[in-house]
A = this chain, B = another copy of it.
Amino acid sequence: MLQQHLRQLTLRSGGEGFTDITAALNREIAASGLNTGLAVIACLHTSCSLTVNENADPRVLEDLAAFLRALVPQEGVKPLSGRGELRRWVHDDEGPDDMPAHIRTALTCTSLSLSFQGGRLLLGTWQAIYLWEHRAEGQQRRLTIHLIGQ
């Protein structure tokens, strides 16, 4: 019979960049006693996100971060058509890194749904799950991990 387990994870991010949470998620699955099921991980914030990406060459993460910085610059954006002027962010009360962080969150994922089997996440060889911090400084971050399985 299917059961559910809902837990919160708290972690401190190290500022803009990636924290590999794969092992922490696998520990939660092991602790639940469930063998096979669905894991839904959600981020309770609007300036960091979740992503599945390569766990091998660290330069992949470096390029990912550089891309998102170029895509959503702190100084504002010009249309990708090349036609139009720079538009600055109007939301700037919380520092120049805050509005880009909200946009970078909207372009990536607030929640991820993955299967687990044998008490572990069912991932491809090169996949890891990252909390992607978009604020410049490290933050206390809360995630939920929701397991439905047996």
Interface residues of A (CB under 8 A from B): 1-4, 6, 36-38, 40, 42-46, 51-54, 57, 59-60, 62-64, 66-67, 69-73, 75-84, 86-87, 89-91, 93, 99, 102-103, 105-115, 117, 122-124, 126-127, 142, 144, 146, 148-150
Contact = CB atoms under 8 A, between A and B. Distances in A.
Nearest to A73: B81
Contact of A109 (B36, B66, B109, B123): B109
A61 to B, nearest CB: 9
Contacts of A105: 52-53
The interface residues of chain A, by DSSP majority, are classed as mixed
A73 to B, nearest CB: 4
Contacts of A72: 67, 80
A1 to B, nearest CB: 7
A127 B46 contact: yes
A83 B73 contact: yes
B106 A64 contact: yes
B80 A4 contact: no
Given A43-B124, A70-B79, 20 more contacts: A6-B122, A38-B40, A45-B126, A46-B52, A46-B124, A51-B106, A51-B110, A57-B91, A57-B93, A60-B99, A62-B90, A69-B79, A70-B77, A70-B78, A73-B81, A76-B81, A78-B80, A78-B82, A81-B86, A111-B114
